[in-house]
């Protein structure tokens, strides 16, 4: 858990508290948070140890919804936007947490692969980054795509755009905001994303936090 600036998608540039939930069976090969994949009780640590760790590790802490809200105040976070990510946050029912945060003046956002049902407050902004044909073997749920406020699709080549088109063809109504995000900031991927966004009036999502060197 940490306070930073959101670097991707519609909320790019917004101060945010990131809460990374532990556990993800999807298995994206380019994932830059592989330390969040495994659920291992031996890796559970104290809140202070996890928040203050100097480098990424598989250690994590457990806490209740009210405890997490209190922790925000203890840490004196100024950001009022909370991003629930992972790992795969939608492995969990996030309804109580997101409703509690909204009741206390926060906005909330979930970043999910689309492999699990999205359970959250109706006001929560849902970002689906569909992870297609990954090692874990999970299908992208139509219900997750239908709940999405934005679809933020990682691409490296034309086949990734074709895969997104196939997903969108399932829907009666396509979400109003579709962002293409070049994988690992590759120049060819970036050029393809720019070209496609112009052609289709979609949005380009760059991982700006990597460009400016923040978490």
Q: Which is higher by pLDDT, 113 or 29?
A: 113
Which of 8-12, 71-75, 99-103, 211-215 comes out lowest in average pLDDT?
211-215
Across the range 38-50, mean pLDDT stands at: 93
Q: Which is higher by pLDDT, 83 or 31?
A: 83
Across the range 134-146, mean pLDDT stands at: 93
Omega before 87 cis (within 30°)? yes
DSSP-derived 3-state class of residue 127: strand
User: Tokens 């034309």, residue?
Assistant: 158
Percent of the chain with pLDDT over 70: 96
108 membership: H or E segment, kind and range? strand 107-112
Percent of the chain with pLDDT over 90: 80
Across the range 121-148, mean pLDDT stands at: 94
Cβ atoms of residues 89 and 115 within 8 Å = no
Which of 9-23, 32-46, 126-140, 173-187 comes out lowest in average pLDDT?
173-187
DSSP-derived 3-state class of residue 161: helix
Return all residues near 124 (Cβ < 8 A) that are at least 6 apart.
94, 98, 102, 108, 109, 110
Q: So what's the pLDDT on residue 176?
A: 77
Cβ atoms of residues 205 and 178 within 8 Å = no
Q: So what's the pLDDT on residue 214?
A: 66
Q: So what's the pLDDT on residue 78?
A: 97
Residue 209: pLDDT above 70? Answer: no
Token duo for residue 28: 């994206």
């Amino acid at each position: 858990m940490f306070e930073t600036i959101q670097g991707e998608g519609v909320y790019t540039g917004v101060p945010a508290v990131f809460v990374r939930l532990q556990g993800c069976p999807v298995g994206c090969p380019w994932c830059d948070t592989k330390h969040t994949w495994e659920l291992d009780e031996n890796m559970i640590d104290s809140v202070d140890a996890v928040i203050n760790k100097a480098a990424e590790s598989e250690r994590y802490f457990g806490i209740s919804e009210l405890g997490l809200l209190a922790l925000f105040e203890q840490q004196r976070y100024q950001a009022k936007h909370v991003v629930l990510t992972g790992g795969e946050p939608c492995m969990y029912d996030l309804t109580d947490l997101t409703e509690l945060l909204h009741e206390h003046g926060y906005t909330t956002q979930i970043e999910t692969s689309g492999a699990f049902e999205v359970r959250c407050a109706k006001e929560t902004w849902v970002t689906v980054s569909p992870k297609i044909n990954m090692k874990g073997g999970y299908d992208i749920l139509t219900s997750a795509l239908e709940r999405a406020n934005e679809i933020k699709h990682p691409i490296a080549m034309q086949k990734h755009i074709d895969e997104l088109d196939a997903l969108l063809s399932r829907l009666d109504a396509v979400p109003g905001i579709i962002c293409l995000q070049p994988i690992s900031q590759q120049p060819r991927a970036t050029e393809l994303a720019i070209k496609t966004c112009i052609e289709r009036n979609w949005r380009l999502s760059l991982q700006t936090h990597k460009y400016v060197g923040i978490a």
